[in-house]
Amino acid sequence: MQRTAFIERIETLFRSHPTVGILGPRQCGKTTLARDYIKSSGRRWVHYFDLEDPEDLARLDDARLTLTPLRGLVVIDEIQRRPELFPLLRVLVDRATPSQRYLILGSASRELIRQSSESLAGRIGYVELPPFTATETGPLPRLWLRGGFPRSWLARSNADSMNWRKAYVATFLERDIPALGIDMAPRTMRRLWLMLAHSHGNVLNASDLARSMDVSQPTIRRYLDILSGTFVTRLLPSWHANIRKRQVKSPKAFFRDSGILHALLDLPDMAALRSHPAVGASWEGFALEQVTHIVGASPEECYFWRTHTGAELDLLIERGRQRLAFEFKYSSAPKATRSMHSALDDLALDHLTVVCPGTRSYPLTSRITVTNLADLAARHGY
């Protein structure tokens, strides 16, 4: 599956930046996207360095000597394994001719952005590559159940998909997490992941997690920051309105890929998912990721809102003076609720969209519309 929109985004960024960074979780298709871009761009000179390949890693032991004479496009994959390259890249980029460009790929966005913001400010544009989304795939239930990681979604059966996802979790816990500086044993980290899976979509209680794990709250927050920075989880911050109501201040925690969540909850098929108590929370997290992609919302624009009396809004996207409000309901015929009306009035919203897995879109009230992901995507040009 060629991800044409992302290829076009890379080409657009190269018109104004000498460096483009592709960020995303491991195994989401960054390397495939880079190779597809290379084929479509028709570039004459391409130099590819995969930093998980010992030979390529050795070639960059003296990176200045290796990279300085190169012409054309230089691709560096899994660059977070060599963060010391960033200061050198700044020097090379500033000396680069118009025909020389750098495409860097990284699975640890927190580290990549921190290093590049120090060394490549003003010289790099970013593409955040998610796993497959509803605008790219076929049947929605399959994407929801398996998640969007290419090898999971493309697996021949649900059983093969589940086996891949469980192996992915094990590899992440045993290899990737220690490489990011977390000294928690894989078994203990798996326990944390299971706890997060069972509280998916709920307001985060860091103190409860810390007590259960027998670690400090700052330690838990550091772990969660790293999981968020590697695209495993989303910490959705709360929005605070200037109203006379007590409002929740802690973030909500979500697994960003529904397939990983279902692997942790041991939900092998749609029958198991539909009968599970977490089906509503699973739909909320899945739909939230799809909606943020469809409307092109950055993490800094996304919030939820909740009061201590129960009024809430699942997703508030604030973009300048524009506010987009969404509720996610696992129902074929959702109804307007007191909470929805409270959100409209307290947050001074013009409209609220309820996203459900149904097949029809229709007005629920003059200010509330029910829709599905396909119709929402069509309205935004997909």
Contacts 24+ apart (CB under 8 A), 97-102: 97/71, 99/71, 99/72, 100/18, 100/70, 100/71, 100/72, 100/73, 100/74, 101/14, 101/18, 101/19, 101/20, 101/72, 101/73, 101/74, 102/18, 102/19, 102/20, 102/73, 102/74, 102/75, 102/76
The pairing of strands 124-128 and 19-23 is parallel
Provide the residue range defining the domain that includes 94: 4-128
Q: How far apart are CA 259 and CA 247, in angstroms?
A: 32
pLDDT of residue 111: 61
When mean pLDDT is compared across 19-33, 116-130, 163-177, the lowest value belongs to: 116-130
Bigger pLDDT: 148 vs 183? 148
pLDDT above 90 for 279:
yes
Answer yes or no: do 259 and 374 share one domain.
Answer: yes
- What stretches of the chain show up as alpha helix (H) in DSSP? 4-14, 30-41, 54-59, 63-67, 85-95, 109-119, 140-146, 150-153, 158-171, 177-179, 186-198, 206-213, 217-229, 258-264, 270-274, 279-295, 338-346, 373-379
Q: Which residue has the higher pLDDT, 96 or 381?
A: 381
| Structure confidence at residue 226 (pLDDT) | 85
Res 181: pLDDT:
67
Judge whether 242 lies within some domain. yes
Q: Is residue 101, in this structure, part of any structural domain at all? A: yes
Give yes or no: residues 285 and 375 share one domain: yes
Pair 119, 147 in one domain: no
**Structural domain contains residue 99:** yes
pLDDT band at 88 (very low <50, low <70, confident <90, very high): confident
Instruction: Determine the Cα–Cα distance for residues 286 and 280; give it in Å rounded to an integer.
Output: 10
Same structural domain, 303 and 374 = yes
In the predicted structure, residue 112 carries a pLDDT above the cut 60: no
Is position 58 within any domain?
yes
∠ CA 111-203-319, nearest 5°, is: 65
Residues 144, 123 within the same domain: no
Rounded to whole angstroms, how far apart are CA atoms 27 and 315? 27
Identify whether residues 183 and 111 lie together within a single domain: no
pTM: predicted TM-score of the whole model, two decimal places: 0.92
Which range among 15-24, 222-231, 326-335, 343-352 shows the weakest confidence by mean pLDDT? Answer: 222-231
> Does 99 score more than 90 pLDDT?
no
Q: Which of 107, 128, 149 is the last residue of a domain?
A: 128
Burial zone of 127 (CB within 10 Å; 0-12 exposed, 13-18 middle, 19+ buried): buried
336 and 220 part of one domain: yes
Residues 20 and 7: their CA atoms lie apart, in Å, by 12
For 122, half-sphere exposure in the C-beta direction (CA atoms, 13 angstrom radius) is: 1
Closest to 373 (Cα-Cα) out of 340, 329, 316: 329
Judge if 203 and 121 occupy the same domain: no
Do both 123 and 161 map to the same domain? no
What pLDDT sits at residue 105? 95
- At 215, the amino acid letter reads V
Q: Residues 146, 107: one domain?
A: no
Task: Determine phi and psi for 204, rounding to 5 degrees.
Answer: -75, 130
For the residues 185-205, what does the mean pLDDT come to?
92
Give the residue from 68, 93, 128 where a domain finishes.
Answer: 128
Structural domains of the chain, count: 2
* 279 domain residue, yes or no: yes
Model confidence band, residue 241 (pLDDT cutoffs 50, 70, 90): confident
What is the model's pLDDT at position 275?
97
Question: Do 106 and 155 belong to one domain?
Answer: no
**How far is Cα 228 from Cα 235, in angstroms, rounded to an integer?**
7
Among 330, 309, 219, 232, CA closest to 27: 232
Are residues 103 and 203 located together in one domain of the fold? no
Reported confidence tier of residue 238, pLDDT bands at 50, 70, 90: very high
Residue 210: left (phi > 0), alpha (psi -120 to 50), or beta?
alpha
Q: What does the angle CA 202 – CA 208 – CA 210 come to, to the nearest 5 degrees?
A: 120
Please state the φ and ψ torsions of residue 43, each to the nearest 5 degrees.
Answer: -65, 140
pLDDT of residue 249 exceeding 80, the answer is yes
Contact between 123 and 17 (Cβ < 8 Å): yes
| Token digits of residue 357 | 């897995």
Distance, in Å, from the CA atom of 113 to the CA atom of 258, rounded to the nearest integer, reads 25
CATH of the domain at 106: 3.40.50.300
Local confidence band at 110 (pLDDT 50, 70, 90 cut-offs): low
In angstroms, the CA 45 to CA 367 distance is 55
Mind listing the pLDDT tens digit for each residue in 36-55?
Answer: 999 998 888 999 999 989 99
End-to-end CA, the chain:
16
Residue 135 lies in a domain: no
273, 211 contact by CB (below 8 A): no
